[in-house]
Amino acid sequence: MNPPIGFIGLGNMGWAMMNSLLTAGFPIVAFDVRADVLARAATSGAEAASSVADVAHRTGTVLASLPTPQISETVVAEVSTGSAVRRFVDLSTVGRQAAQRNHGALSARGIAALDSPVSGGVHGAEAGTLAVMVSGSRVEFDALAPVFDVLGRAIFVSEHPGAAQTMKLINNLMAATTLAATAEVMVMGVKAGLDAQVMIDVLNAGSGGTHASREKLPRAVLPRTFDYGFATGLMAKDVRLYLDEAKTLGLPVEIAEAVQQIWEHTVQAEGPDSDFTAVIKPMEQAAGVVVEGGAG
C-alpha cells in the first residue's frame, strides 16, 4: 500500500490533481482554508487535516497547489514545523526567488524541496497529462516518479532551486501571448465578415495554429462557455512574475510588457476570477462583434 501523501490547496488545479492521486490509490491527507472544499475532499476519500501543520505532522511527502508566492511562503513556514514531513513538492507557480527562499527555509529543517510547477490546465490535471517541470534533488525526483507519473509527464529541469519556476514562467508567457494574439486576430476576422469556425479550421491547418486555436478557443470561446479552468488573475500574476525575473536579468521585455497590458486590462474588465479565455471579451466589446462557433 502506498504511504499517505499530504496535499495542500484544493483550487481547480489542486482538486483535480488530488483526485487523480486518490483514484490511483494514494491515501491523501488534505487541507484547504475553505471548510466546504475540505468537507468535499473528505467525501471523495481524502482524510481532512485541521491545518497545514497537521498535514506536515502526518505525512512524509507534502504536495501543494497554491495561487501566489506569498501564500506559498506562508505555507512553507508552517510545513517546516512538521514532525513527519521529509519532502515538499510545490506544484504552484511562484517564481524563482520565492522558490529559492522556500528551498532555504525547508533545507534548514532537513526537508527536501522540489519546485514542480505544472502546465496543461484543469483538463490536463483531470486526464493525468500535465507537463510537470521539476528542479531540486535528482534523488528525490526519482523517488517521486510514481506520484509524478499519475499527474502527467515529469521533466527534470535542473538541480538548481527555482530553475523549474523559470521554465514555467517562460511557458506561461508563451501561453499568455498566444491566447491574447489568437483572440485578437479572431475578433479582427469576425469584424471583417469571416466565420469564426472556418477561421479556426484554417489556422489549425496552417502555420498560424497555436494551442489557443486548437484547444482553448474551440472549447471555451466559440461555445461561449468560458470555462477552460484557469483564472485571469493567475495568468496576469504569471506574466508579472516573468517580467520581474526578466528585468532582474537585464533583458528586453517589450513583448512581455505589451502582453501584460492586455492581461491587466482583462483583469479590470472581467475580474480576476473570470476564466482566462475571457481575454477576448474586451476585444469583442471594442469591435462590436461576438466570436462564436459557426457551421464550419
Enzyme catalytic residues = 168
Residue 254 to residues 116, 169, 182, 230, Cα–Cα distance (Å): 28, 16, 19, 25
Q: d(Cα 12, Cα 7) in Å, to the nearest integer?
A: 13
Task: Please give the DSSP secondary-structure letter assigned to residue 155.
Answer: E
- Which distant-in-sequence residues (6+ apart) come within 8 Å of 208 by Cβ? 185, 202
Residue linked to cell 499527474: 151
Q: Where are any strands of DSSP class E within the chain?
A: 5-8, 28-31, 47-48, 61-64, 87-90, 112-115, 118-119, 130-135, 152-158
